[in-house]
Structure formats: C-alpha cells, structure tokens
C-alpha cells in the first residue's frame, strides 16, 4: 500500500510540474489567457475603466473583458504588483491544492472522516487528484488559468462544515466573486439549513456593500447593466458553452435567448433535479450538492466546459457513493469518465471554424449537447434507481454496509 501511495504522490508531483512548465514555456496566446484578464483587468478597479477595459491581443475573435463582480477585482487587485510568472506558478500550484481539497472532501463525505485516516483512502485522494488534473474541466481550467476550482472548493467545504455561519460565509463570498456559486444556497434550502441561507445572503450583500463603498460607479454599472448580458461573456452558441441555452441554441441554429423555450427547459430540469434529490438518501450530502451544482450549470446562460468542475465529484460519487452498485451505475460512470477524459466539447471546438459560428450539421449539434443530455439522463437514472429501491426488499441494507469502503481501482 505504501508503494501505491508513493506512486500516487509521484504522479501528482509530475502532473503539477508538467502543468507549470506547460503554462510558462508553451508558445500559445491562449495559455493562461483568463489569468491575464484577471490580473490586468483588475488593475483598473480604481481608475473607473474596469468594465471598459478589454484584451484583444490573445483572443482576436473576441476581445476579452473583465466579467466578474467588482468584489472579484478587489481580491485580485494585488496580483498585478507581482511578476506574472510568479503569479502563474502560484496560481497553478494553488489550483492543484484546491483540487486535492475537493477530492478529499468528496471521498470523506461518502466514507466518513475516520475512514480517511486509512492509507488506501489517502492513496485514492492523491491518485484521483493526479488523474483529475488531466480531465477536461480541470485541464482547460489550468490551460486558461481559470478560477473555477477555487469556487467549487468553498461549496465542498460548506457541505462538510457543521457551522451555519461558516457555510454561509463560504457560499456568500464565493457568489461575490462570481455569481454562479450562489446556486449552492439551494443545497441549504434542501437540507433546511435556514441560518446558512441567511448567512450566505448577508455575506453576499456585504461583498457588494464593500465594493459600493470603494467603487460605487463600477458596482452600480455591473449590477445595474452588465449582469444580465451573457453576450458580454462570450458567444452563447459556441460549442464550449454546455448549458441548456447553449445546447438548444446549437440545435435551433440561432440564439434562442431567454424566452419561453429556455424557461421551459430550465423548469423541466428543475423538476427532474428536485425529484432526483428526493430519490437520494437523506444523509447523502455529496449527492445533493452535486445535483444542485449540475442544475446551476444547466440553468446558467453560459457554462463553459471548464466551469464543470463538479463533474470530478460526480465521477467519484458514481464510483464510491451509495448508488455505486445500482443498475446502470457503471454505465453512467463510464459515460462521464469518457466525457471528461475525451472532452467532447473541447474536441468539437477544434472543428468549429469560428467561436461565433452557430450553424452546424445536426449530428454535431446533438453531440455538442453531451453535458446537457448527460445531466438529464443522470437525473432520470437517479429517480428510477430511487423508485426501484423503494419497492425492493433489499433497500433495508444496513447503512454501514453501504458506506463500507471499496478497494481503490
């Protein structure tokens, strides 16, 4: 077992070194392109041009603006005082550390804290972190220098914590950095953790209040004008947008907007997500959190493929969670593992002449809906498995046996 652990550590160290070397020395404008935007864009926080500034030097098809709330710029502002290579190296290492935290907490939520003291689960955490760095959502996040892993970790910590004010603070401040983590509040609602809901709202409002005191013009502009404009973030129809709106836009051949079709699709997804949550065991915190996060990815106007970091906990949940032995579990896990290894949306992006091009052959449009269709299939599967368990006499299996650690693959 020690040998396996050492091999896992070696694989993780190798992965981190390769990713850092790739970022620093690979000659491509798109490498760490978003980190450049974070650093250079946030430098304009106090001169009144935060949301006027764009960078077209690295993305000629679409000049990149700073798209996050002013609170994000406030936190990122100090980075522009450091050499960019130093920032990049620290950012990538911190991303790997945050990914390890996500994997560790995901396993802990399934097998318990005591089990995580065992060598085989420590080995699993390190090994899955090393592997996770090469799965498409994380791979692209590292390529672009994105913030996604840092936003999923607080949600995992909130699910792990037993203190309502810690939970609320983590989620509320994450939503202050980027609005999408606010969907985690639905997890608190599902578990009737009302104090955590209140604390998250207070923390989010506090992040807005802070920037309103510091930069009132930028704060008013973001929340009054820019927050409802998805086109400022990028082309909705691009294949790397794996949200419902992106999938339906590509199937229709034009941007469907936020009208009745999109709202109906979100409503159907919400109903399926609710039913899937109801089909879970009441103590399956990771399963509930994954359903909430996936619903957020589906409902957002734009969910780039690298935003889907929640697929890493999903793969772990399908492999080790309470439904791991259910009918179809291996097939579902195989689909998501293939999707994250292959990166279907990334592959299709290489076939897209322009990121603004929506029209494409029908079979590519349907293939480009891989994440959306996969989430809908996952919700339906969870509902079906839950119904089977309710009518089966085998559902009375002792909880401790269901949570018994299985060997690491």
DSSP string, 358-379: ----HHHHHHTTHHHHHHHHHH
- Kindly give, in sequence order, each residue whose CB lies less than 8 Å from that of residue 286, ignoring residues fewer than 6 positions away: 106, 109, 110, 159, 313, 317, 321
Q: Is pLDDT of 230 > 80?
A: no
How confident is the model at residue 409, as a pLDDT? 38
CA 204, 207, 210, 216 torsion: positive or negative? negative
For the segment 273-291, the average pLDDT, to the nearest whole number, is 96
Percent of the chain with pLDDT over 90: 76
3-state secondary structure of 390: helix
Q: How far apart (Å, rounded) are the C-alpha atoms in residues 23 and 17?
A: 10
Residue from 81, 63, 274, 125 nearest 189 by CA: 274
**Cα 208-211-216 angle, rounded to 5 deg:** 105
Q: What is the pTM of this model?
A: 0.91
How confident is the model at residue 389, as a pLDDT? 74
How confident is the model at residue 403, as a pLDDT? 46
- Token representation of residue 114: 């005591």
How confident is the model at residue 400, as a pLDDT? 41
Q: How far is CA 249 from CA 92, 200, 223, 229, 363, in A?
A: 33, 33, 26, 16, 14
- Token representation of residue 52: 């006027």
Q: How far is CA 227 from CA 34, 151, 230, in A?
A: 19, 18, 8
The residues that bridge with 55 in the sheet, in sequence order, are: 64
Helix (H) or strand (E) holding 55: strand 54-55
Backbone phi, then psi, for 55, in 5-degree steps?
A: -125, 110
Q: For 294-333, what is each residue's pLDDT tens digit?
A: 999 999 999 999 999 999 999 999 999 999 999 999 999 9
- Kindly give, in sequence order, each residue whose CB lies less than 8 Å from that of residue 21, ignoring residues fewer than 6 positions away: none
For the segment 182-203, the average pLDDT, to the nearest whole number, is 96
Mean predicted lDDT score pLDDT of the chain: 90
Q: Is pLDDT of 395 > 80?
A: no
Q: Is pLDDT of 176 > 90?
A: yes
How confident is the model at residue 308, as a pLDDT? 96
User: What does the buried/exposed string (b/e) look like for 286-300 if buried means 16 or more CB atoms within 10 Å of the residue's CB?
Assistant: bbbbbbbbbbbbbbb
Q: For 334-362, what is each residue's pLDDT tens digit?
A: 999 999 998 888 788 877 777 777 777 88
- Going by their DSSP bridges, the two strands 54-55 and 64-65 should be labelled as antiparallel
Q: How far is CA 34 from CA 29, 37, 103, 349, in A?
A: 11, 5, 24, 18
CB hemisphere CA count around 21 (13 angstroms) = 6
């Amino acid at each position: 077992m020690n040998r396996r652990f050492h091999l896992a550590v070696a694989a993780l160290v190798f992965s981190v070194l390769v990713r850092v070397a790739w970022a620093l020395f690979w000659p491509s404008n798109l490498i760490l392109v978003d980190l450049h935007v974070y650093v250079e864009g946030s430098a304009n926080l106090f001169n009144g041009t935060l949301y006027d500034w764009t960078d077209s030097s690295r993305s000629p098809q679409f000049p990149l603006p700073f798209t996050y709330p002013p609170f994000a710029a406030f936190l990122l502002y100090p980075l522009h005082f450091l050499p960019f290579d130093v920032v990049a190296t620290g950012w990538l290492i911190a991303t790997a550390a945050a990914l390890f935290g996500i994997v560790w907490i995901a396993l802990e939520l399934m097998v318990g804290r005591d089990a995580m003291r065992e060598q085989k689960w420590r080995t699993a955490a390190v090994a899955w972190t090393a592997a996770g760095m090469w799965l498409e959502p994380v791979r692209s996040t590292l390529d672009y220098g994105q913030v996604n892993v840092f936003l999923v970790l607080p949600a995992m910590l909130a699910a792990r914590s037993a203190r309502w004010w810690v939970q609320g603070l983590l989620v509320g401040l994450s939503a202050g950095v980027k609005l999408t983590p606010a969907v985690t509040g639905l997890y608190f609602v599902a578990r009737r953790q009302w104090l955590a809901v209140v604390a998250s709202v207070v923390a989010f409002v506090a992040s807005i209040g802070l920037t309103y005191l510091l930069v009132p013009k930028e704060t008013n502009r973001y929340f009054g004008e820019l927050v409802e404009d998805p086109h400022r973030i990028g082309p909705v129809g691009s294949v790397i947008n794996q949200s419902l709106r992106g999938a339906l836009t590509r199937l229709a051949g034009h941007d469907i907007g936020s009208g009745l079709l999109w709202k109906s699709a979100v409503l159907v997804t919400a109903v399926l997500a609710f039913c899937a949550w109801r089909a879970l065991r009441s103590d399956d915190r990771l399963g509930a959190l994954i359903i909430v996060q996936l619903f957020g990815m589906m409902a957002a106007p734009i969910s780039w493929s690298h935003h889907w970091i929640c697929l890493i906990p999903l793969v772990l949940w399908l492999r080790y969670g309470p439904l791991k032995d259910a009918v179809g579990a291996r097939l579902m896990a195989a689909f998501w593992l293939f999707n994250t290894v292959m990166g279907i949306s990334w592959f299709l992006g290489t076939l897209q002449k322009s990121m603004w091009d929506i029209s494409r052959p029908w079979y590519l449009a349907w293939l480009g809906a891989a994440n959306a269709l996969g989430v809908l299939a996952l919700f339906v599967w969870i509902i079906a498995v839950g119904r089977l368990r309710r009518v089966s006499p085998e559902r009375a299996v002792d909880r401790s046996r269901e949570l018994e650690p299985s060997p690491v693959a």
